[in-house]
Structure 1
């Protein structure tokens, strides 16, 4: 496919808008319109109903982008920058993909990819469309929005005929063919509004933001701004680069916030505009603007140039924005506000979103533009919440910037959880599956869960207060709701789409709420399963979570099952080792009671008989679910104790070695031990690890709790010896990354020591392989067997098969074993009330939540509506198509896509929708060029040229053809109900 976009002719644009609005009440996929109140703010001799909108970037490049932003609530539009290099020449300089907005945002594109004349026409089309939409759809005052031009990058280019014609046309478009065409088309579409349409002003813009390249000399910047003020008589903002802060300040701020991995040197700081030159220049420009009767201000800030070090984008340098730019830009704003006594107008861009825009506005900083937030899931719809939030504030003309307020905001940003980088690298958010061509909507939380819990459904039941029903649904796949509701590793939460909004839905806690509130009612309804008497008989060896789960699943099917546990209580490592402050015995007991309801025979204080003996007793299936109790070896001299035994003795109330405690290791068990030591009265508790916190294998949550508890950390060291109340360690440094991306620690030969009486070894716990070998079970080089062992009817799972595993992985293995015994997967029905409506799901899109009384209100119900690729596409090139049966499908529209790659970042699948979803082509050239995209090219009537499964063929929908039925319906729907997509 081609990265070149084809603008939509105005007639087709209006057909799309009016058809979609009439049918769905939506415009370009934005479902909820923002309807402005009576408030307005004056700017540039015009008015805006809300003081925010999209920044010059991917969301102001095409007419449909601007229209979608307006419909959602934007009223100030910083149009994408135009410059003398444009069109194919510029596009050839941009590597694809060019946007990465997964967390902080990066891009490697900078100005419009259209030809300047095309860009002009797009802005005029958008202008006219908004004027009529405001009027006929009741969205607000038709004169309540402002277009702000952005031009670059040197005076010669701006004075050249191409950009000069652009500027003149934007000031007065009346004589241009595109404006006249737009007026004529609007009269055809809205004949009753002809008189109003005649009043639409051709004055599209009277203001401009100056954007210059890095290294532009200060006198050149001043010449450009002076020219625009004096000669073109335009209200002028000058965009400043964050480099004006100075290298040391920028580096210090980012490092302190966890962005130490962002690479840049000081060359831009030396070459860019210096603060000492900037201040007098801005005073002179303000004076010039005052003389000309125009408004002048600074646009803070431009994106921040950094080096590509980890293949983030296919370029050598990229531009940083979003959450990490916010602390830099607010610091710039505070600096400039103080310098000018709050009198200099500041327009803002740099990580603004629903969480901070009210704070910026309260400081007198506006208009506020943004790019990163609308590139994330929710897309343009995020503007609606922002508009509603600002509506609650007082609107008054600009009187100055609150210097104290912006200084406080800039300092607060450096510790704000929405701007500080996570302590550990982001986990993989995507599933490992490829996106299906059709029916792709999925709940990534469910896909990320080893047992594929029906998470959105039980969360919805909890939202409705149906806790017993929620617990029943949970236990269809998960027999340990209390254990997993308390200590589950919650892989589901790393996949939650709300990670891209604010914080993941607290799925684990919601499960526990269902368990606690639904337990009594659910237990009272459980009846013993009907017994199966066909000779199957099951033995489960090990009473930890995996063994309990296997017994539950098998027992539920009515098959006799005996659980052998050598301890006096069930629960395994969870019961005997994990500290009580993490999980209570009462919680474990409730899961045991659930299992016992399934008729499981439990033999405590009992070593399991051998496999041969069990088979002799009639057991047809045997499942080894023994835990990883064998200590890993830390081979250093001194008082070294293995973590499992140490924690078990501590939990049993026995005396354990304390004093100054050093825990060696970086996993979850190490975190437990370090926290437990403090609670047991240790003089100090230090976690010793050969890498940094960032590379510790512990879950981020476990690491954060250890830090909160006061555990000390000694990073980049390898323990050498404990003696005389000290632990001697060799300092390490990080070398090259290993095969998992972790940087390998390299010895330095330098030593360091800390007070230490006890070393707790939390490294590499293992399963005792002798339990298998003495039964004739084959093990691998690590001493563990396969799931289905070499012995007939004998299986292993959980720690026994994986080594130290999570509880939920053990449950998954238990279910696999139960399926092998039963012969099929467990079947059940999801209650109808467990599924939210499509309207409820759509209403949550784009809404950031700082808190909620119920997590169900935050769940985006991706099982009902996903559409993320449609949300995040700036150009609206991924379109939701509704089939006659009510199913919704994603259609990729080739002519509107510039291959920015944003949909590939956020698609929950390991896929790029712009390449892998069914595609509509505008031309044969585009069709032939896109050999990897399955899709179709309309040929007239009901005839289409199709590429499907690497085959290209013509099909006539009015005759017999070779199309699969679902593809035929899809194409037929596009041709008949969505004809406006075809050009």
Structure 2
């Protein structure tokens, strides 16, 4: 017989044979005081708080180490038990700092909760604590020995659950038992894996995450910062782990679960995940984007076998704009059973992916391959088709319309001379060949702006043979919005960067541009209406010469055809946050809503809008899919010698001579061994929320 019946405080409780009294009680939602006990750890009974009385036995027993036996009658509350528990608690508190209000776990501390439950007062205790220094020198983790009660949870989770085993019990100078790192080493030197399990199970503030390591919010989300910071919520730890295990096509499928552009993202993603990566506090973030690129390069498309297409609904959706937002929404709406037509005013689909980002960063062929998968899902794309009004689409019988027009109009700052010959805006310059726009190239070019698009313009001009190319921007170097690598690589290619400058006027020579009159900036801010407030240095006027000037100081959406839409002061579409515009059946997503953002942000907004449109059309709004097996993850990660010193790898640029005068892809991704080594640097943050959260006594039904 596998089941036994016992009695706890007069209540009949059934549990499996081989389980302890503590386990039986927790299954029945009965609280027995405890501190060293944790559901995921083997039991030691060291804290002696879970003592219970068993009918027919003289001595008390610890509930966490005593097996439940058929017919056993257990008492958890008595005066004798209360005295024993108070004594155990007082012994622990004698070496514990008395001030709780300065502890980060204040009001979230198991020890503090137990003090309240047991009614223990520290005022009568004979304090034996001599304060020791708080250890703040380790990456990510703070250790405060003054708050340690030697419960041993951290030791057991490190040793038995993670298989790392760098923590142990030691005698300090006063011959008291304390928990510390074996050999007295720093965590990095002891080969800590920085998984955070020890912090997670610590019942006091003895082990803490450093301030700023995690944001506030839902535990399941914030403990995995790379996934939380990804706008589309891609399961980063899962595909990184799959790469480490050599399961490359499965890794690609994980990315595909949230985004239909994995190859493009592997080249141009803004890497919000890396900004949040905890490994960066040790020796550099994991190169997540490059791992995504590696996985996408090994995609065999076997994930299609698991891809789900819902039955046809007979509902029709029109999408205006074939950029990453429009195509993403179209893809998921088609998979939800709707007939989707996408209208694109340009000769090609892809938006800025195809008609904005230069081929040396993102080859057009890669974008075409990914769009082919979207077409295969049933999405019809009509290029060279500009929509004149919402009424036009309604008359064609569409039940829902998504505006995903992007921000494909460059902004020309109204400076004196802005309309001179050879003065252009970024988007026109980048699309000059696609749209057959007459544009005379010059030897010297000045690009105004400090973002990625500005550098796209500058580096494109250089590749087209422009001899002197300068980028001029308001921001100081450390505050530029362009990526750090973009700036470094531009400098390598001979592009000059002038930081901290404001533009006064375009210099004229014979009706043509000859340069830009600038002033040096001491500081600048924007007011609540996004109006620029500048402080400039006196007598700092100077000219940066250039026979061609390109404005790259922003972009805006082309929404002239949709006058019914409500726009905010920035000229962007107002929505309710999930795509609704307030006009029945009309939704919006992407840069037309957010302003110029990133590909991954456009994808995230499109997913929300697609879900909302599906609900509007009578669906359940569920566009989630699982394209990989949901395997049980082994939390026994083991020790890795020199783990903290595993060096970061990233992409390689081809040599300057090979890239400076052409538009071939300028970067090389990981080889297999490099990808595996980089994946092995991951701290596997997703293991931490898999640990069972400790329950406070207030959360039990019977207490």
Instruction: Flag structure 2 segments of 5+ consecutive residues without an equivalent.
Output: 1-34, 45-94, 98-126, 150-154, 160-164, 179-184, 200-211, 616-620, 649-673
Whether the 8 Å contact between 2:321 and 2:351 is mirrored in structure 1 is: yes
Whether the 8 Å contact between 2:343 and 2:386 is mirrored in structure 1 is: yes
Q: Which residue of 2 aligns with 1:728?
A: 517
Change (3 A) 1:530 1:736: closer
Q: Which residue of 1 aligns with 2:392?
A: 613
Question: For 1:522 and 1:702, how far apart are their aligned partners in 2?
Answer: 34
Question: For 2:411 and 2:532, how far apart are their aligned partners in 1?
Answer: 22
Question: For 2:527 and 2:130, how far apart are their aligned partners in 1?
Answer: 38
Q: How does 1:906-945 map to 2 (within 5 A)?
A: none
Whether the 8 Å contact between 1:695 and 1:742 is mirrored in structure 2 is: no
Change (3 A) 1:492 1:815: same
Partner SS, residue 864 of structure 1: helix
Q: Which residue of 2 aligns with 1:640?
A: 423
Instruction: Please point out which of 633, 644, 647 is paired with 1:836.
Output: 633
Q: How does 1:296-335 map to 2 (within 5 A)?
A: none
Change (3 A) 1:500 1:841: farther
Question: For 1:779 and 1:666, how far apart are their aligned partners in 2?
Answer: 26
Q: How does 1:842-881 map to 2 (within 5 A)?
A: 847-851=644-648, 852-854=674-676, 855-865=678-688
Question: For 1:493 and 1:503, how far apart are their aligned partners in 2?
Answer: 9
User: How far apart are 1:743 and its partner, in Å?
Assistant: 12
Instruction: Please point out which of 692, 706, 719 is paired with 2:476.
Output: 692
TM-score (norm 1): 0.46
Q: Which residue of 1 aligns with 2:446?
A: 662
Q: Which residue of 2 aligns with 1:798?
A: 590
Question: For 2:388 and 2:688, how far apart are their aligned partners in 1?
Answer: 52
Q: Which residue of 1 aligns with 2:570?
A: 782
User: How far apart are 1:699 and its partner, in Å?
Assistant: 3.3
Whether the 8 Å contact between 2:243 and 2:251 is mirrored in structure 1 is: yes
User: How far apart are 1:703 and its partner, in Å?
Assistant: 3.2
Change (3 A) 1:617 1:675: same
Question: For 1:806 and 1:22, how far apart are their aligned partners in 2?
Answer: 47
Question: For 2:308 and 2:36, how far apart are their aligned partners in 1?
Answer: 59
Instruction: Please point out which of 754, 758, 766 is paired with 2:544.
Output: 754
Partner SS, residue 500 of structure 1: helix
User: How far apart are 1:378 and its partner, in Å?
Assistant: 6.4
Between the two structures, name the one with larger relative contact order (CA 8 Å, sep ≥ 6). 2
Whether the 8 Å contact between 1:467 and 1:517 is mirrored in structure 2 is: yes
Instruction: Please point out which of 790, 793, 809 is paired with 2:601.
Output: 809
Query: As a proportion of its length, which structure holds more helix?
Result: 1
Whether the 8 Å contact between 1:577 and 1:651 is mirrored in structure 2 is: no
Q: Which residue of 2 aligns with 1:533?
A: 313
Q: Which residue of 1 aligns with 2:262?
A: 481
Q: Which residue of 2 aligns with 1:434?
A: 217
Aligned: 1:491 with 2:255: no
Instruction: Please point out which of 686, 692, 697 is paired with 1:888.
Output: 692
Q: How does 1:351-362 map to 2 (within 5 A)?
A: none
User: How far apart are 1:595 and its partner, in Å?
Assistant: 0.3
Q: How does 1:140-179 map to 2 (within 5 A)?
A: none
User: How far apart are 1:692 and its partner, in Å?
Assistant: 0.5
Whether the 8 Å contact between 1:737 and 1:743 is mirrored in structure 2 is: yes
Whether the 8 Å contact between 1:687 and 1:714 is mirrored in structure 2 is: yes
Name the Cα RMSD after superposition. Answer: 5.0
Whether the 8 Å contact between 1:529 and 1:599 is mirrored in structure 2 is: no
1:211-232 Cα shifts (integer Å, max 9, x gaps): xxxxxxxxxxxxxxxxxxxxxx
Question: For 2:260 and 2:692, how far apart are their aligned partners in 1?
Answer: 34
Instruction: Flag structure 1 segments of 5+ consecutive residues without an equivalent.
Output: 1-14, 25-60, 64-86, 123-128, 134-138, 148-169, 171-177, 187-348, 358-369, 382-427, 867-885, 891-917, 919-934, 937-945, 947-962, 973-983
Q: Which residue of 2 aligns with 1:262?
A: none
Partner SS, residue 489 of structure 1: coil
Q: Which residue of 2 aligns with 1:444?
A: 225
Question: For 2:530 and 2:283, how far apart are their aligned partners in 1?
Answer: 26
Q: How does 1:214-613 map to 2 (within 5 A)?
A: 430-431=214-215, 433-436=216-219, 442-522=223-303, 525=305, 529=309, 531-534=311-314, 536-608=315-387, 610-613=389-392
User: How far apart are 1:697 and its partner, in Å?
Assistant: 2.3
1:118-138 Cα shifts (integer Å, max 9, x gaps): x9xx9xxxxxx9xxx9xxxxx
1:683-742 Cα shifts (integer Å, max 9, x gaps): 222221123012222233433433443332111211223335443211221368988999
Change (3 A) 1:735 1:440: closer
Whether the 8 Å contact between 1:379 and 1:846 is mirrored in structure 2 is: no
User: How far apart are 1:860 and its partner, in Å?
Assistant: 2.1
1:84-112 Cα shifts (integer Å, max 9, x gaps): xxx99999xx9xxx9987989999x9xx9
User: How far apart are 1:819 and its partner, in Å?
Assistant: 0.9
Partner SS, residue 497 of structure 1: coil
Whether the 8 Å contact between 2:140 and 2:213 is mirrored in structure 1 is: no
Question: For 1:104 and 1:821, how far apart are their aligned partners in 2?
Answer: 42
TM-score (norm 2): 0.63
Q: Which residue of 2 aligns with 1:825?
A: 622
Whether the 8 Å contact between 1:836 and 1:861 is mirrored in structure 2 is: no
Question: For 1:744 and 1:631, how far apart are their aligned partners in 2?
Answer: 22
1:395-427 Cα shifts (integer Å, max 9, x gaps): xxxxxxxxxxxxxxxxxxxxxxxxxxxxxxxxx
Aligned: 1:703 with 2:492: no
Change (3 A) 1:22 1:625: closer
Partner SS, residue 645 of structure 1: helix
Whether the 8 Å contact between 1:102 and 1:376 is mirrored in structure 2 is: no
1:912-945 Cα shifts (integer Å, max 9, x gaps): xxxxxx7xxxxxxxxxxxxxxxx56xxxxxxxxx
Whether the 8 Å contact between 1:769 and 1:779 is mirrored in structure 2 is: no
Whether the 8 Å contact between 1:549 and 1:811 is mirrored in structure 2 is: yes
Instruction: Please point out which of 766, 769, 772 is paired with 2:559.
Output: 769
Change (3 A) 1:803 1:103: farther
User: How far apart are 1:512 and its partner, in Å?
Assistant: 2.1
Change (3 A) 1:447 1:22: closer
1:260-305 Cα shifts (integer Å, max 9, x gaps): xxxxxxxxxxxxxxxxxxxxxxxxxxxxxxxxxxxxxxxxxxxxxx
